[in-house]
Chains A and B, each alone.
Chain A
Amino acid sequence: MTATAADPKRRERVTGTPFTRALGVVTLVGIAWLVLFGLFVTPADINQGESVRIMYAHVPGAWLAYLAFVVTAISSAMYLFRRTRSLVWDRIAGASAEIGVLFMGISLVTGSLWGRITWGTFWTWDARLTTTAFLFVTYVGYLAVRNLGGTHHQRARRSAVLALLAVLEIPLVHFSVELWNSLHQEASVVGNTDVTMDGLMLFTLFLGVIVFTLMYVWMLMHRQRSLTLQDMVDDIGLDVALAARRAEAGAS
């Protein structure tokens, strides 16, 4: 264990840089602001009452999850193109997918709680919700594939193909469920989250999207750096093993 000479008790700064520290502070302020406005300052909705407050956490969470998965898809494509092939893209794809799964999980839970209040039910099989659940399970599978082992490039290639297949399936699933639901009338009534929004509510929603984006960027940078460190350690382990092998071969 390496101890820093200056102060062994001081927590070591690992994946942080001045930029991420500043970003972190701004984000924390933003979170406090969002919670304050969301829970207290904004008015209740005419139709939905107080339950609309959940919207300020639920909607930004969903949007950022989609953004995260788009980033994963783009990074995966960048890795697969020979000219831009680099494990950096693979690690961005992986980190972004983890955050996407996190936000999607949050979105599903908060949406479920919101639904319980407004429609009396935790779940309904409309196209949007069902596709969301599908997305969640798909990217959980993606993360599982990333942990299968093998070389870094094997991992990168497998998951990159998988991410692009996932993007392909999303419209297929959405369309199928929509077609399916057109047979059932009640799905379009339940699942309707129309909110008449006044200026302050709209602003708070906007604030929510900004704060969640800041959180996403902060988490992405740290997680991607953490994955980089892990890959570097793996490579060192590999070099050590190779050197030992060669030494053995040389000695015999």
Chain B
Amino acid sequence: MSASSTLRVARLVAAKDLRVEWRSRVVSNQVLPFAVLVMILFAFALDSDAVLERVAPGLVWLATIFSVLFLVARTYAVETADGALDALRSAGVEPMGIFLGKAAALAVQLLVLEALLVSAAIVLYRADPTASGIVLLVTTALVATVGLASVATLYGGLAAGVKGRETLLPLLLLPVVAPVLIGATRATESAFRTNGIAVSEGWPWLGLLAVFAAIFSVVGAVAFGSLIDE
């Protein structure tokens, strides 16, 4: 199995996942509205414009992380419904390719979600980023998403399929994404200029996000095979 065949598999799997979503519209009709709803509910719970403005960055990434659980469950439900994952494996398809493909498709969906949530924060919580803040925001979203998609695809593979396992995913995944939550929120605080924090203070946090992304994309690609080999 060569690198190019792995990449080919990845491209095919990613395209398949995105096509399934495009046709079924589950993410756009269900998960995105859920995420916006979470943002609205935060406003009911926190009941103060000043507080909301201050915690807006954290709320954006909290809503993202909760939504990831649904996105991952969805991406694996698609496979296990027809035993597709098992069929892929017994056909000898390179698991690293499957991992990269599913992670890539998940990343695309995540980026759409994050764009929506940032917009919601600007509208609902009066977030007010400058131009350089937006550059920081986009970069943060990209790097954080690589990490989130990798780790979510990895743990999703472990929790997929058999009854009683899907409820395990939040317990396993949420602790792991803590560094992403911390790093992305701090960077977004700078981008939104919350509490007078300068945009320049946000860039170091990207280092943390990059390390996380690097580690889990590599580890995920390597470990994925042994988790779905059952």
CB–CB under 8 A between A and B in the complex? yes
Interface residues of A (CB under 8 A from B): 80, 134, 137-138, 140-141, 144-145, 148-150, 154, 157-158, 161-162, 165, 168-169, 172-173, 175-177, 179-180, 183
Contact indicator per residue, chain B 145-169, by CB within 8 Å of chain A (1) or not (0) = 0000000001000100010110010
Chain A residues lying within 8 Å of B176, measured Cβ to Cβ, are 138, 165, 169
Cα A158 to Cα B186 in complex, Å, equals 34
Cα A173 to Cα B223 in complex, Å, equals 20
Cα A202 to Cα B226 in complex, Å, equals 46
Within 8 A of A (CB), among B201-230: 205, 208, 211-212, 215, 219, 223, 226-227, 229-230
Cα A150 to Cα B162 in complex, Å, equals 10
In the complex, whether B41 has a CB less than 8 A from a CB of chain A is no
Docked-complex contact B171 and A175, CB < 8 angstroms: no
Which of B175, B182, B227 sits near A179, CB closer than 8 Å?
A: B182
Docked-complex contact A172 and B215, CB < 8 angstroms: yes
Output the nearest chain B residue to A150 by Cβ-Cβ distance: B230
Within 8 A of A (CB), among B14-32: none
Given contacts A165-B219, A183-B186, 16 further A-B pairs with CB under 8 A are A80-B226, A140-B171, A141-B171, A148-B164, A150-B230, A157-B226, A157-B229, A161-B158, A161-B226, A162-B158, A168-B219, A169-B175, A169-B176, A173-B175, A173-B179, A180-B186
Instruction: Tell me how many residue pairs across A and B have CB atoms closer than 8 Å.
Output: 66
- Between A145, A148, A162, A180, the greatest number of chain B beta carbons within 10 A of the residue's beta carbon is seen for A180
> Could you show 23 A-B contacts with beta carbons less than 8 Å apart?
A80-B226, A137-B171, A137-B175, A138-B176, A141-B168, A141-B172, A141-B175, A144-B171, A145-B158, A148-B165, A149-B162, A154-B230, A161-B158, A161-B223, A161-B227, A165-B176, A173-B175, A175-B208, A176-B179, A176-B208, A177-B182, A179-B208, A180-B186
By Cβ-Cβ distance, the 7 closest A-B pairs, closest first, are A176-B179, A176-B182, A141-B171, A141-B172, A180-B182, A172-B179, A137-B175
Min CB distance B162 to A, Å, is 7
Chain A residues lying within 8 Å of B172, measured Cβ to Cβ, are 141, 145, 162
In the complex, whether B178 has a CB less than 8 A from a CB of chain A is yes
Chain A residues lying within 8 Å of B215, measured Cβ to Cβ, are 168, 172
In the complex, whether B183 has a CB less than 8 A from a CB of chain A is yes
Chain A residues lying within 8 Å of B171, measured Cβ to Cβ, are 137, 140-141, 144
